[in-house]
Structure 1
Amino acid sequence: MAPQGDLLEELLVQHDAVRVHFSALGGVPLGDPERRRLVDLVSAELMGHLAVEERLLHPVVRRHLADGRTLAGLNLAAHRTVEGLLADLRYADVASALFDRLVARLVEETTRHFGEEEAQLFPAVRAAVPAATLHRLGEKTGAALAHAAVHPKPQPPAVKPPDRLPPPERGLAARLRAFLTPS
């Protein structure tokens, strides 16, 4: 994407691109393999967007806003939620109900996150940060996007996988002790 303006304008363009992909995803029937391709497009777009925010926006927020550390922390928490959903979607079967629930949650979380940024964070940044700084950062978005990961890092499973080995055999002494000990 060629730089079109300052950092906030670039981020708004990215928000619109993700919303377009979400709209396309909503028009495809549940279970259709085309949904996988669209989710992969959304994943690449979102991962690039999150990288730009973390590399360019968050340092400015921390530096220029009074409660910047808190705002950046909340923004990072929202990013981790979105990345977790993208990681789960990557391994979900497109024909499963889980895939559809994850897509719905991704759309909900991302839309909420974008709405909060556009209503609260971006106006505060625009008021506190010099226009020249925002424009200079806007020119760096292309480089940040080029270095962004396309897929989220694999998350460790929440539940340990089952052990496929049989339980260990008890030794002769343990079996004899269990046999001779009254219950």
Structure 2
Amino acid sequence: MIRLLDFIFSFVSLLFLWPLLLVVMLMGFFDTGSPIFIQERIGRYKKPFKLIKFRTMSVETESVASHLANSTSITKLGGFLRKTKIDELPQLINVIKGDMSLVGPRPNLFNQTELIKERDALGIYDALPGITGLAQVHNIDMSTPELLAKLDKEMIDTMNVKDYFRYLVTTATGSGRGDAVK
């Protein structure tokens, strides 16, 4: 049921949002010269996949978790995209492809060893990663691996259609700041 909802909502969203995506792409070319950011992340069963986002940091920024990146790396357009969560919209393609769900644990990088250890212990990688979830609506980011893994586990164990919609609506209406940048 959730996979069907993911596909329908993502497809319809891309269908209606393509003009916005096109404008952001064009603005991104002027901002960084490279508007799309693709990064390898850990997916379901720890299989790698390519996460797609709009670029919010300068091209030369090191590939680390957001909370480890320097805030001076964020471009002016990038700051706006992060604040409005527009930078996340290309992930709808990942959802359509089946790499992600709209709701699930945020996919982490392979170099986040402490988070991987905590998530492994709780079986988090048995679920599809998501664009948003319980941790995101409570402003818990990847800088607190143990707490994040516990909230991910709670979300996975209690997920139902009502919670799915609650996390989506809460995120869409502005709750949750996403990953912090120092």
Scaled to the shorter chain, the TM-score interval is: under 0.3
Q: Which structure ranks higher in relative contact order (CA pairs < 8 Å, sequence separation ≥ 6)?
A: 1
More strand by share: 2
Q: Rg: which structure is higher?
A: 1
Q: TM-score, normalised by structure 2?
A: 0.26
